[in-house]
Chains A and B, each alone.
Chain A
Amino acid sequence: MSFGTLDRQKSTSGLIMVAPSMAILALFVLWPIVQSAYLSLFDWNLLSNKQQYIGLANYAAILGDSRFWNALWTTFYYTAMYVPGLVLVALVLALALDQKVFGRKVLRPMFFLPSITSMAIIAIVWRFILDPDVGLVSSWLSDIGVTMPDMLRNSSWSLPTIAGVSIWRWAGFNMVILLAGLNTIPDSYYEAANLDGAGAFRKLYSVTMPLLLPSLSFVVVTNIIASFQVFDPVYVMTKGGPLFSTEVMVYYIYYEGFTLYKMGYASALAYVLFIVIFLFTLLQLRGFVRGEERVGY
Chain B
Amino acid sequence: MKTKRTPGMWVLFGLLVVALTVSSLPFLWMILTSFKTDRQILGQPDILLPLQWTLIQYQNVIDQIPFFRFLLNSFIFAGGVTILSLFFDAAAGYAFAKLPFPGRDVMFYLVLITLMIPFQVVMVPLYLLIYHLHSLDTFWGLILPRMTNAFGIYFMRQFFLSLPNELLDAGRIDGLNEIGIYRRIAVPMTTSALATLGVFHFMYNWNDFLWPLLITTSRDMRPLPVGLALFTGEHVQQHGPIVAGAVLSIIPILIFFLFAQKTFMRGIALSGLKG
Q: Is the CB of A113 within 8 A of B121?
A: no
A17 interface hit (Cβ, 8 Å): yes
B111 interface hit (Cβ, 8 Å): yes
- Chain A stretch 84-124: residues in CB contact (< 8 A) with chain B: 93, 96-97, 99-104, 107-124
**Bound-complex Cα distance A241 to B32 (A):** 30
Binding-face segment, A65-73, A134-142, A189-197? A134-142
CB distance from A137 to the nearest CB of B (A): 9
- Chain B stretch 12-69: residues in CB contact (< 8 A) with chain A: 12-13, 15-16, 19-20, 23-27, 29-30, 33, 41-42, 44-46, 48
Cβ contacts under 8 Å, B99 to chain A: 10-11, 13-14, 17
Cβ contacts under 8 Å, A123 to chain B: 229
CB distance from A124 to the nearest CB of B (A): 5
B191 interface hit (Cβ, 8 Å): no
A270 interface hit (Cβ, 8 Å): yes
Q: Is the CB of B89 within 8 A of A21?
A: yes
Binding-face segment, A55-63, A153-161, A274-282? A274-282
**Bound-complex Cα distance A253 to B126 (A):** 14
Residue among B30, B95, B111, B177 facing the most chain A CB atoms (10 A cut-off)? B95
Q: Is the CB of B20 within 8 A of A112?
A: no
- Chain A stretch 249-289: residues in CB contact (< 8 A) with chain B: 250, 253-254, 257-258, 263, 266-267, 270-271, 273-274, 277-278, 281, 284
A77 interface hit (Cβ, 8 Å): no
A33 interface hit (Cβ, 8 Å): yes
Per DSSP, chain B at the interface is: helix
B210 interface hit (Cβ, 8 Å): yes
CB within 8 Å for A117 and B209 given contacts A14-B104, A136-B48: no
B206 interface hit (Cβ, 8 Å): yes
CB within 8 Å for A121 and B210 given contacts A9-B178, A29-B122, A236-B232: no
Cβ contacts under 8 Å, B263 to chain A: none
A149 interface hit (Cβ, 8 Å): no
Q: Is the CB of A35 within 8 A of B125?
A: yes
**Bound-complex Cα distance A15 to B46 (A):** 63
CB distance from B252 to the nearest CB of A (A): 11
Residue among B150, B206, B207 facing the most chain A CB atoms (10 A cut-off)? B207
Q: Is the CB of A177 within 8 A of B24?
A: no
Q: Is the CB of B228 within 8 A of A124?
A: yes
A226 interface hit (Cβ, 8 Å): yes
B203 interface hit (Cβ, 8 Å): yes
CB within 8 Å for A110 and B20 given contacts A13-B177, A39-B124, A270-B121: yes
CB distance from B182 to the nearest CB of A (A): 7
Q: Is the CB of B100 within 8 A of A10?
A: yes
**Bound-complex Cα distance A18 to B24 (A):** 44
Size bin of chain B's contact surface: 35 or more
Q: Quick one: closest A residue to B272, CB to CB? A: A177
Q: Is the CB of B30 within 8 A of A125?
A: yes
CB distance from B155 to the nearest CB of A (A): 13
Q: Which of B89, B122, B209, B243 contacts A125 (CB 8 A)?
A: B243
Type the 1/0 row for A151-187, where 1 means its CB is closer than 8 Å to any CB of B: 0000000000000000010011110110010000000
A22 interface hit (Cβ, 8 Å): yes
CB within 8 Å for A118 and B249 given contacts A11-B102, A110-B20, A257-B124: yes
Q: Quick one: closest B residue to A110, CB to CB? A: B20
CB within 8 Å for A120 and B229 given contacts A21-B89, A139-B45: yes
Q: Quick one: closest A residue to B126, CB to CB? A: A32
Residue among A18, A20, A32, A168 facing the most chain B CB atoms (10 A cut-off)? A18
**Bound-complex Cα distance A229 to B89 (A):** 25
Q: Is the CB of B100 within 8 A of A14?
A: yes
Q: Quick one: closest A residue to B128, CB to CB? A: A263
Q: Is the CB of B29 within 8 A of A124?
A: no
Cβ contacts under 8 Å, A292 to chain B: none
Q: Is the CB of B123 within 8 A of A116?
A: no
Q: Is the CB of B268 within 8 A of A111?
A: no
- Give 7 closest A-B pairs by Cβ, nearest first: A14-B99, A14-B101, A13-B178, A139-B46, A21-B92, A28-B145, A32-B122
A-B contact pairs, 18 of them (CB 8 A): A10-B178, A14-B95, A15-B101, A17-B94, A18-B92, A99-B4, A101-B3, A101-B12, A111-B20, A119-B225, A120-B228, A121-B225, A124-B242, A128-B33, A129-B29, A176-B265, A231-B210, A236-B229
Known: A32-B129, A140-B46, A277-B121. 14 other contacts (CB 8 A): A11-B99, A17-B179, A20-B88, A96-B15, A112-B268, A120-B225, A125-B29, A168-B26, A219-B272, A222-B272, A236-B232, A263-B128, A270-B123, A271-B121
